[in-house]
Amino acid sequence: MKTVREELPTCLDAGGVCIQAEDWGGFNVARIRFPKGADATPLLEGLPGDMCQCPHWGTVLKGSINVRYADGQEETVHAGEVYYWPPGHTVSVDEDYESVEFSPSDQMGELIKHLAMKMGV
């Protein structure tokens, strides 16, 4: 299977946050975009620990993203770098951001539903 990342179906598009995603063989492949200044922390309220519980593997295409883990550790992932985020994290961006990310389909589906509810869409 393959596709052009810009042609992935849009699952969430609100407040400058855009998630285009499709499930392939039990994994969700997604193009994720956040606008400058976006902070996922308030959107994750209500999840266990008020953090994302879905693991993600990906690569940053544009910008950078700040990640904070449940144990308090923090790191920034920059364009051109690959990453793995285990369950128990939140993210924020200081500049426009884009990535391609892979996650378990069931967990990512629940996360997208939660985000959409919190964003009122």
Q: What is the pLDDT of residues 69-83, one digit of tens each?
A: 999 999 999 999 999
Position 66 scores a pLDDT of 98
Above 90 in pLDDT, residue 90?
yes
- Judged against a pLDDT cut of 90, whether residue 121 lies above it is answered with no
Q: Residue 98's pLDDT is what? A: 98
Residue labelled with tokens 């393959």: 2
Domain ranges, ordered by start, for the chain: 5-119
pLDDT score of 1 more than 90: no
CATH architecture of structural domain 5-119: Sandwich (2.60)
Q: How far apart are CA 21 and CA 4, in angstroms?
A: 11
Encode pLDDT of 14-69 as tens digits: 989 999 999 999 999 999 999 999 999 999 999 999 999 999 999 999 999 999 99
8 Å CB contact between 84 and 8: no
